[in-house]
Amino acid sequence: MVIQSTEIIDTFAEAFGMWAARVIITGETPKWAMAAARAMTGFATSVIGCRCEAGIEREIPSDETPDGRPGVSVLLFAGSAKGVGNRLVERIGQCVMTCPTTACYNGLEVEEKVIVGGKLRYFGDGYQASKLLGGQRLWRIPVMEGEFLIDESFGVQPAVGGGNFLVLGENLTVTLEAVEAAVDAMRIPGVILPFPDGVVRSGSKPGSKYKELPASTNDAYCPSLRGSAPKTDLPEEVTCVLEIVIDGLDEKAVGESMRLGIQAAVREGIVQITAGNYGGNLGQFHLHLHELMQG
């Protein structure tokens, strides 16, 4: 399949089952809500090294938040519901509770829940208090600037992590332009792009010559290893490869985000768009590029 002058390889992205939570962070101003969201989603690019993947889903206008203040929605993914709960306690405790003026609410109305505010409340040293509103318990933890308000529990649901595609370009400039355009198009409700501004250059393959490493550089896509790696998957004119990884609340959202991204990335100078997989034996979700682009 060729779109504009870019070849879309007939392959699939292999994605994995994960668990996800949505956190609504509000603040006195958009600046402080965003500051907390940025802190909470820092060092959360890959479960391989960060134990979770997280990103900013969208900014939320004040008339849509539970306390009428400007907000930011964050999605956090981990390998299990318990893992999501543990990461939420760590990250909300260290990055949101610490941030001036913020409050933190559950953004997923689902049956399965993990306790978060109900654990962080102990920071209140006995001065914490709770409020029950509409069946949901909120904890008020006194802090030096006022009080930190947080839902006792957060909904968690099965999700999809590791949707991806690779953009193979003739040079760095055009490849960066392509992935930046793709990232702008891909930010839809229900997905995040966990890497720096959505883009990763250090794509990995499973395993390594060093036994202790679970993953190592994807040598088949490193232009500088064309002559020394056992094989290359790069056409001759390609000098740069960048990848976009997508985590979403469901397969449909991940697929739609990928479709929008590929559509935005194709252009003169982008030779191929392909996807990362492990032969189909590891991940339970196979997102075929041709099927996505054919709608």
Q: Binding pattern to other proteins, positions 6-35, x when CB under 8 A?
A: --------------------x---------
Min CB(240)–other proteins separation in Å: 47
What is the rounded CA–CA span in Å between residue 29 and residue 263?
Answer: 35
The stretch among 38-46, 88-96, 141-149, 177-185 that binds other proteins (CB under 8 A) is 141-149
Q: Which of 22, 119, 140, 259 binds other proteins (CB under 8 A)?
A: 140
Q: Does residue 61 interact with other proteins by CB under 8 A?
A: no
**How distant, in Å, are the alpha carbons of 59, 93, 124, 167, 224 from that of 90?**
22, 5, 16, 34, 39
86 or 128: CB nearest other proteins: 128
Q: Which amino acid makes up residue 144? A: M
Q: Which of 37, 56, 149, 179 binds other proteins (CB under 8 A)?
A: 149
The structure tokens listed for 39 are 């802190």
Q: Which of 49, 61, 68, 235 binds other proteins (CB under 8 A)?
A: 68
Min CB(128)–other proteins separation in Å: 10
Q: Does residue 93 interact with other proteins by CB under 8 A?
A: no
10 or 67: CB nearest other proteins: 67
CB 74, CB 187: distance < 8 Å: no
Angle in degrees, CA 143, 72, 109, rounded to 5: 95
Contacts of 49 (CB under 8 A, 6+ apart): none
- φ and ψ at 275, to 5 degrees? -145, 160
What is the rounded CA–CA span in Å between residue 149 and residue 69?
Answer: 13
What is the rounded CA–CA span in Å between residue 175 and residue 102?
Answer: 38
- φ and ψ at 286, to 5 degrees? -115, 110
Q: Does residue 66 interact with other proteins by CB under 8 A?
A: yes
Min CB(126)–other proteins separation in Å: 9
The structure tokens listed for 174 are 């055009």
The structure tokens listed for 295 are 């709608």
Q: Which of 1, 48, 129, 282 binds other proteins (CB under 8 A)?
A: 129
Q: Does residue 131 interact with other proteins by CB under 8 A?
A: yes
Min CB(67)–other proteins separation in Å: 4
Count of residues that bind other proteins according to CB under 8 A:
17
Residues that bind other proteins (CB under 8 A): 26, 66-69, 101, 103, 129, 131-134, 138, 140, 146-147, 149
